[in-house]
Amino acid sequence: MRKNYLLITSVAFMLASSVRLNAQSVGTRGVSATIHRVYEYCPAPGQFLNTMPEYEEGDTRESVRQKAEELLREGGTVSLGAFGGYVVFGFDHMVENRAGLYDLQILGNSYHADGGDARQGGSSEPALVFVSHDDNGNGVPDDKWYELAGSEYGKTGTWRDYTVTYHRTPQGHTPTPVPNSPVTDDTYIRWTDSEGGEGYLAMNAYHRQNYWPQWQRGEQTLTFTGVRLAPNTVDKNGDGSYFLQNTYAWGYADNQPNDSTSSKLDLEWAVDEDGNPANLPGIHFVKVQTAVLQSNGWIGESSTEVAGAVDLHLAGGAAPSMGENVMVLTFEDEDYRGEEYDYWSSLVDDRQYGGKLLYGEGGTGVYDEAEAYRWYDEGNTFLSSMLNNSWGSWAYWNGGIAVSNYVDSNLDNVPYTDQLAVFRKGAEAGRGEGGHGASDRFAVINGVDNTFASGGTDTRAVLAFGDGQARTIDHAYVALTTYFLSNIVNGSSFCTAATEETFVDLLAEGFDAKGQKTGTATLRLVDGLHHVQGWTWFDLSALGKVSSVKFNFSVSDDQKGAYGVNTPTYVAIDDIAVRMDGTGTGIYGIPGASVATDNERMYDLTGRLLRSARKGQIVIIGGRKVLF
């Protein structure tokens, strides 16, 4: 069978010279807006290895580092290779972290292409970005590193402390070509990982040089540890002819195009190893590390390119990182815009279960609607919520959204009476600092639609705009409660512990003013033995303008019983961001990312403009790789 290689988007080819964007020095205060020094260049194997920078006989780790430094200072591009490969570089000054503004941008060669779905697709080869402040002032990156928590932080597909070992191709290795394909060796470089997985980096006909860093050819294995993002590649036609890399929303390098706001980075996102905000005044050093491990047939493995970095405050690109007209419901007293001094605190019940606020004086709910537990973020997001009613009584067990400040890390035999505590690694049982960004308060959603089971009830919690206006909710942050997580990890008399087959999804169902459903947004909380870690970004923008949202859960069969879902449906939510003008630019500028390339022009694989192409030549037109 002859495959059609026409009009195929490439993952990993080079547009090196065409992306030499604006990384030149800016003369302000004698400092440079771009990379000053490369401290380490440690790529993993990959199809662009030994070509960018170019390896020459006799090169050492140090001479290759110098070449990478020269390239990056002059607006050139270096390849980091497959998963784990990295570069560490620095600026000649501190890149400031200014409140509410993007601060830093890593340039890459990502572009959007036709065929993308809700997640814009194209060539996205995301890398994690780590940053460091020169605490000891010695000008060397020997200080604490912080991770920029991007849109995939904490999600079930994001694996921390993931290790991959590449094994050097043995002497006398016999290539495994894929018939009628540019793949010349499908078993070229073997890798093994810390999860018991293994696979190969393939060699393709476009890149026939050695893919192993030649200055390290004496080494039999190369091992890298980092954060792995879920694979983002899609075989669009199902026959291996068109691979599309979905972009992740924000917070990575070589993921969104350089001209997209979503490629910019806010140092506010820096967190330590436990997910606590770093609160850095600024940074001096940056580490960029390839975060995906995936092969894409004939176009080879995904491998991040770095084409420079920019201090946006010096270069003049520091747009507001919170978007225009976005308000956030934080559940913090100081952010409340109404009259009451301690509004959100006053809504935290004095015990987690059976308290007066959520269950009434008698402990069985209140029977007068005027007394039902409710809240309203008046003058801010205008979001509101009220406990559900069942048989004339309003109580939290009927479903609702309760304000909380309880925090705990114990997962052994957590009783149902501990329903309002958010799980935070290492935290003592207590109150405060459990919310997103170590804030004091958040809310706990409880309820599920169990009407699929006989005898099951509908207790979905409702979030609604209290002023009757429909708006787009951009996103919220979600974390697990200790009660939920203890059941998932250890099981209980209600619910079995998760196995490889288990999943639990949080659903946000949008409704317009007429009660018509606008859509459903899904966040996977549990995926087999992986679960959400820390506060995790939940994109709600696809629901469009909504008057209300109902939260629901969808679970695998092992989590169901005679009355519906057995898993305790309690999940924490915080920092709910609303676009106030109905349209808005969206937080972090996610929507409206542009298509990067000019449809009229044709480039060769090194990015040179072409007037014509010869038969059999692969060129780039409109961001797509085309075989003539």
Which amino acid appears at position 206 of this protein? Y
- Strand, coil or helix: what is 485? helix
From 19-27, 112-120, 167-175, 430-438, span contacting Ca ion (CB under 5 A): 430-438
DSSP state of 85: -
- Which tokens in the block code for residue 53? 């920078």
Instruction: Please answer whether residues 318 and 98 qualify as being in contact, where contact means their C-beta atoms are separated by less than 8 angstroms.
Output: yes
Q: Phi and psi dihedrals of 120, rounded to 5?
A: -55, 135
Smallest separation, CB 104 to Ca ion (Å):
9
Q: Kind and range of the H or E element at 187?
A: strand 183-193
* 79 lies in the binding site for Ca ion (CB under 5 A): no
Q: Is 444 left (phi over 0), alpha (psi -120 to 50) or beta?
A: beta
Q: Which of 37, 63, 94, 134 binds Ca ion (CB under 5 A)?
A: 134
Smallest separation, CB 512 to Ca ion (Å):
28
Site for Ca ion in 331-350 (CB under 5 A): 331
From 134-142, 225-233, 362-370, 479-487, span contacting Ca ion (CB under 5 A): 134-142
Q: Return the closest-CA partner of residue 92 out of 26, 20, 41.
A: 26
Q: Which of 67, 574, 577, 624 binds Ca ion (CB under 5 A)?
A: 574
Q: Which of 435, 447, 510, 589 binds Ca ion (CB under 5 A)?
A: 435
Which residues touch 420 (CB under 8 Å, ≥6 apart)? 349, 352, 353, 402, 404, 406, 444, 481, 570
Output 136 or 612, the one with its CB closest to Ca ion.
Answer: 136
Q: Phi and psi dihedrals of 6, rounded to 5?
A: -75, 145
Smallest separation, CB 157 to Ca ion (Å):
20
Q: Which of 2, 136, 339, 615 binds Ca ion (CB under 5 A)?
A: 136
Number of residues that bind Ca ion (CB under 5 A): 23
From 89-97, 173-181, 225-233, 272-280, span contacting Ca ion (CB under 5 A): 89-97
Q: Kind and range of the H or E element at 201?
A: strand 198-204
* 138 lies in the binding site for Ca ion (CB under 5 A): yes
Q: Which of 152, 266, 301, 377 binds Ca ion (CB under 5 A)?
A: 266
Output 61 or 144, the one with its CB closest to Ca ion.
Answer: 144
Smallest separation, CB 19 to Ca ion (Å):
9
Q: Which of 32, 77, 263, 330 binds Ca ion (CB under 5 A)?
A: 330
- Which tokens in the block code for residue 497? 């512990």
Q: In what order do the strands lie in the sheet with 233-235?
A: 111-112, 121-123, 243-246, 233-235
Instruction: Please answer whether residues 436 and 537 qualify as being in contact, where contact means their C-beta atoms are separated by less than 8 angstroms.
Output: no
Instruction: Spell out, one character per residue from 95 to 124, where the chain touches Ca ion: x when CB under 5 A holds, - when not.
Output: --xx--x-x-----x---------------
Smallest separation, CB 599 to Ca ion (Å):
20
Q: Kind and range of the H or E element at 480?
A: strand 471-480
d(CA 590, CA 416): 39
d(CA 615, CA 491): 63
* 143 lies in the binding site for Ca ion (CB under 5 A): yes
Smallest separation, CB 144 to Ca ion (Å):
10
Site for Ca ion in 488-507 (CB under 5 A): none
Which amino acid appears at position 471 of this protein? R
- Which tokens in the block code for residue 23? 């990384």
Instruction: Spell out, one character per residue from 306 to 325, where the chain touches Ca ion: x when CB under 5 A holds, - when not.
Output: --------------------
* 305 lies in the binding site for Ca ion (CB under 5 A): yes
Cα angle, residue 84 at apex, residues 79 and 86 outer, rounded to 5°: 50
- Which tokens in the block code for residue 572? 């924490």
* 548 lies in the binding site for Ca ion (CB under 5 A): no
Smallest separation, CB 221 to Ca ion (Å):
26
Output 341 or 452, the one with its CB closest to Ca ion.
Answer: 341
Output 139 or 175, the one with its CB closest to Ca ion.
Answer: 139
d(CA 295, CA 306): 19
Q: Interface with Ca ion by CB under 5 A: which residues?
A: 97-98, 101, 103, 109, 125, 134, 136, 138, 140, 142-143, 254, 266-268, 305, 330-331, 435, 439, 441, 574
